[in-house]
């Protein structure tokens, strides 16, 4: 926790800020390692305050006491905040403009006598580089995800429904240590697989492609995996489609594994392979970063610029989607390392016919 506060103080100095007021739930969790959707933090040059309501003050005091002054705020937010800001002689206060509501901004402007300075993606940029504890949480989340995939393969048939599969995946993950699912589970069959973010329905699986895109969270950190399998036998056209996606995915992974760091290039390697025969049928980016949020920066996309850094965790998830017929996506999640990558995803990728 102290390291992160040190970094934020360095950034404050660069921007000439006397303090930073953190209001997003994700920032709260990032800086305190515990979740309180209403908790807010204030970092000044010399002090660090955690404002935690009654429900959380006991746990906050236990977890944070050496690093933060825990305050149980009472009354109007601008009053208790204003008091501390005055005591600390804050003139320029950094605020999280991505999450601060217009309502709260106007309250601050009218009630608190400080200059509000937007800090933009400052905290997001800090979160792009995962430390070893964060990587461990992501790995744990992916291990649970892989276990759930193995488990579900024994259950898939034309006798169960898409929503059954989603419920079973989520229940299994919870039973095996997940705090929660990572996002709304995608579990879609046959022609619905052409929808990259199709919603599971109470309908039985049909023969053909079946796509599952799901993950778990551990200590707030997400995993993200997609596998497409075939219920029954795949015909030659389906095999060609599947193997094109697989080839695109493996090529992009190979690029990263060999030390390639150009995020746009990674996307373009996969995209070129798909566009040889399926131009126009891969409408999304190759990947996104994952952490305390399911979609973080940097992305691997045609619009990306810049190089990946050691400690980034990104997905590699090419897909081909033929409208009203079917689609295939294969997604792994990898960490960028000093030499190459660590692929967290262990689930098999050769076409599985059930
Ligand atoms: Mn993803």
Query: If you measure from the C-alpha of residue 216 to the centroid of ligand 1, how many angstroms do you get, rounded to a whole number?
Result: 12
Query: If you measure from the C-alpha of residue 249 to the centroid of ligand 1, how many angstroms do you get, rounded to a whole number?
Result: 13
Q: Are strands 313-316 and 296-300 parallel, antiparallel or unpaired?
A: unpaired
- Which pTM value belongs to this model? 0.96
Query: If you measure from the C-alpha of residue 224 to the centroid of ligand 1, how many angstroms do you get, rounded to a whole number?
Result: 5
Query: If you measure from the C-alpha of residue 287 to the centroid of ligand 1, how many angstroms do you get, rounded to a whole number?
Result: 7
Q: Are 7 and 126 in contact (CB under 8 A)?
A: yes
- Token reading at 57: 């003050």
Please count the helices (runs of H) and the strands (runs of E) in the chain.
10, 19
**Domains and their CATH numbers in the chain:** 2-126 (3.40.350.10), 132-343 (3.90.230.10)
If DSSP codes are grouped into helix, strand and coil, which group holds residue 100?
coil
Dihedral angle, C-alpha 125, 136, 138, 32, nearest 10 °: -50
Q: Are 180 and 145 in contact (CB under 8 A)?
A: no
Query: Does position 283 have pLDDT exceeding 90, yes or no?
Result: yes
- How much is the average pLDDT of 107-123? 94
What average pLDDT is seen over the chain?
97
Query: If you measure from the C-alpha of residue 226 to the centroid of ligand 1, how many angstroms do you get, rounded to a whole number?
Result: 7
Query: If you measure from the C-alpha of residue 291 to the centroid of ligand 1, how many angstroms do you get, rounded to a whole number?
Result: 11
Query: If you measure from the C-alpha of residue 290 to the centroid of ligand 1, how many angstroms do you get, rounded to a whole number?
Result: 8
Q: Tally Cβ neighbours within 10 Å of residue 33.
A: 14
Sort 287 into a burial class: Cβ within 10 Å, 0-12 / 13-18 / 19+: buried
Q: Which tens digits make up the pLDDT trace of 147-179? A: 999 999 999 999 999 999 999 999 999 999 999
Query: If you measure from the C-alpha of residue 289 to the centroid of ligand 1, how many angstroms do you get, rounded to a whole number?
Result: 8
Query: If you measure from the C-alpha of residue 305 to the centroid of ligand 1, how many angstroms do you get, rounded to a whole number?
Result: 19
Q: Are 9 and 80 in contact (CB under 8 A)?
A: no
Q: How confident is the model at residue 2 (pLDDT cuts 50, 70, 90)?
A: confident
DSSP label of 352: P
If you compute the radius of gyration of the chain from its CA atoms, what whole number of angstroms results? 23
Q: Which tens digits make up the pLDDT trace of 58-87? A: 999 999 999 999 999 998 988 999 999 999
- How much is the average pLDDT of 76-101? 94
Q: Which tens digits make up the pLDDT trace of 252-273? A: 999 999 999 999 999 999 999 9
Query: If you measure from the C-alpha of residue 145 to the centroid of ligand 1, how many angstroms do you get, rounded to a whole number?
Result: 13
For the chain, give the percent of residues with pLDDT over 90: 98
- How much is the average pLDDT of 288-293? 98
Distances (CA, A) of 164 to 65, 185, 188, 205: 45, 11, 11, 10
Query: If you measure from the C-alpha of residue 163 to the centroid of ligand 1, how many angstroms do you get, rounded to a whole number?
Result: 20
Query: If you measure from the C-alpha of residue 117 to the centroid of ligand 1, how many angstroms do you get, rounded to a whole number?
Result: 33
């Amino acid at each position: 926790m102290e390291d992160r506060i040190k970094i934020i103080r360095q950034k404050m100095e660069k921007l000439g800020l006397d303090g930073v007021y953190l209001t997003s739930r994700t920032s709260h969790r990032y800086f305190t390692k515990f979740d309180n959707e209403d908790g807010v933090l204030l970092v000044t040059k010399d002090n660090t305050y955690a404002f935690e309501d009654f429900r959380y003050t006991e746990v906050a005091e236990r977890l944070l006491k050496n690093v933060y002054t825990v305050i149980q705020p009472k009354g109007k937010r601008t009053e208790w905040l204003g008091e501390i800001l005055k005591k600390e002689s804050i003139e320029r206060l950094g605020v999280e403009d991505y999450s601060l509501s217009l309502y709260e901004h106007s309250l601050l402007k009218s009630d608190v006598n400080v200059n509000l300075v937007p800090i933009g993606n400052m905290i997001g940029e800090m979160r792009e580089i995962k430390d070893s504890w964060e990587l461990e949480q992501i790995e744990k989340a992916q291990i649970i995800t892989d276990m759930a995939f193995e488990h579900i393969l024994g259950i898939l048939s034309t006798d169960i429904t898409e929503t059954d599969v989603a419920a079973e995946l989520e229940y299994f993950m919870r039973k095996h240590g997940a705090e929660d699912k990572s996002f709304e589970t995608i579990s879609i069959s046959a022609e619905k697989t052409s929808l990259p973010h199709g919603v599971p329905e109470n309908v039985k699986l049909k023969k053909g492609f079946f796509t599952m895109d799901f993950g778990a969270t551990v200590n707030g950190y997400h995993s993200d995996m997609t596998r497409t399998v075939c219920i029954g036998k795949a015909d030659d056209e389906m095999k060609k489609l599947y193997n094109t996606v697989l080839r695109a995915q493996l090529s992009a992974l190979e690029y990263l594994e060999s030390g390639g760091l150009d995020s746009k290039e990674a996307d373009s390697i996969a995209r070129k392979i798909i566009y040889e025969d399926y131009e126009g049928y891969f409408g999304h980016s190759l990947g996104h970063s994952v952490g305390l949020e399911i979609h973080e920066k940097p992305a691997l996309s045609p619009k990306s610029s810049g190089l990946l850094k050691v400690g980034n965790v990104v997905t590699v998830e090419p897909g081909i989607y033929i409208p009203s017929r079917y689609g295939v996506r294969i997604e792994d999640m990898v960490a960028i390392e000093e030499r190459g990558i660590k692929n967290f995803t262990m689930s098999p990728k050769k076409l599985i016919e059930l």
